[in-house]
Amino acid sequence: MGAQWKAKGKALVADAKGRLFTKLVKEITVAARGGADPAANAKLRLVVEQARKVSMPKETLERAIKKGAGLTGEVINYEHVIYEGFAPHQVAVMVECLTDNVKRTAPEMRVLFRKGQLGTSGSVAWDFNHLGMIEAAPTAADSDAEVAAIEAGAQDFEAGDEEGNTVFYTDPADLDLVARALPNFGFNVLSMKLGYKAKNPVDPTSLSAEALEEVEAFLAAIDENDDVQNVYVALAG
């Protein structure tokens, strides 16, 4: 039994990594439309750095860049679509998708939102800030997140998870600039992206254990959809 559970655990990890690679390949493909050279394409450079940090194979990375830049002769058009609405118990959600077929994605989202409520464009976006998000780890015991945020030009930060990492928030236009500056102030960048942060997140302790499980199950089902890139939820913590 132990061996079976161990094998199952490895399979789950591999599946999660596969889904992550699939999402990153889409982002790389879209970013590479602006040019195949990461040095001259800031958007591409950001996502390439993310791919390298999660050990994406070099061949996979290069193939995605060439495909997006139109160097392989393949024509793939991904459309960026955001679906807004509510998870169970009126927890606001923004679902960011990259899809090559909106006619497939839209009905799938309607089905997934049956346990919540699918809204119209702008129905919950007003309650989120669009920001650059940088997760970084301190490089020394005396690394000061507040000082780093000020000196690097971040708007705000959220100190440490269990591993001591910090999330720095930036103006969308300053994401690359701040990411490049943070190592000079004691923080090693782990990941970076543009995303949405809730202005008025729901305190999880205000929900019952059963209600919280329903919200988490809803979010997990959304995240498993192949077209979903990111899920932003108005839930604190």
The CATH number of residue 188's host domain is: 3.30.70.980
- Asked if residue 134 and residue 175 are part of one domain, the reply reads yes
Whether 32 is in a domain gets the answer: yes
Residue 72 pLDDT greater than 90, yes or no: no
Cα separation, 178 vs 170, in Å, equals 7
Cα separation, 1 vs 11, in Å, equals 15
- Asked if residue 91 and residue 54 are part of one domain, the reply reads no
- Asked if residue 83 and residue 62 are part of one domain, the reply reads no
List CB contacts of 157: < 8 A, sequence separation 6 or more. 145, 146, 148, 149, 166, 167, 168, 169
Instruction: Report pLDDT for 162.
Output: 66
- Strand segments, DSSP code E, in the chain are 79-87, 91-99, 117-118, 128-138, 156-158, 166-170, 187-198, 228-233
Q: Up-side HSE of residue 89: CA atoms within 13 Å toward CB?
A: 21
Instruction: Report pLDDT for 88.
Output: 95
Whether 54 is in a domain gets the answer: yes
Residue 190 pLDDT greater than 50, yes or no: yes
Residue 30 and residue 78 in contact, taking contact as beta carbons nearer than 8 Å: yes
Expressed as residue numbers, the domain containing 177 is 79-237
DSSP 203: P
Residue 165 pLDDT greater than 70, yes or no: yes
Give me the percent of the chain exceeding a pLDDT of 90: 64
Cα separation, 119 vs 122, in Å, equals 8
Whether 174 is in a domain gets the answer: yes
CA nearest 16: which of 47, 53, 42, 54? 54
Instruction: Report pLDDT for 3.
Output: 43
Instruction: Report pLDDT for 86.
Output: 96
User: pLDDT (tens digit, 9 = 90+) per residue, 205-230?
Assistant: 999 999 999 999 999 999 999 899 99
pTM for the whole structure: 0.80
Instruction: Report pLDDT for 20.
Output: 84
Whether 235 is in a domain gets the answer: yes
Q: How many helices (H) and strands (E) does the chain have?
A: 7, 8
Residue 102 pLDDT level (bands cut at 50, 70, 90): very high
Whether 148 is in a domain gets the answer: yes
Residue 121 pLDDT greater than 60, yes or no: yes
Number of domains observed in the structure of the chain: 2
Instruction: Report pLDDT for 181.
Output: 96
**Torsion-angle region of 6 (φ positive above 0: left; ψ -120 to 50: alpha; else: beta):** alpha
Instruction: Report pLDDT for 189.
Output: 87
Cα separation, 6 vs 205, in Å, equals 33
Sheet harboring 79-87: ordered strands across? 117-118, 79-87, 91-99, 228-233
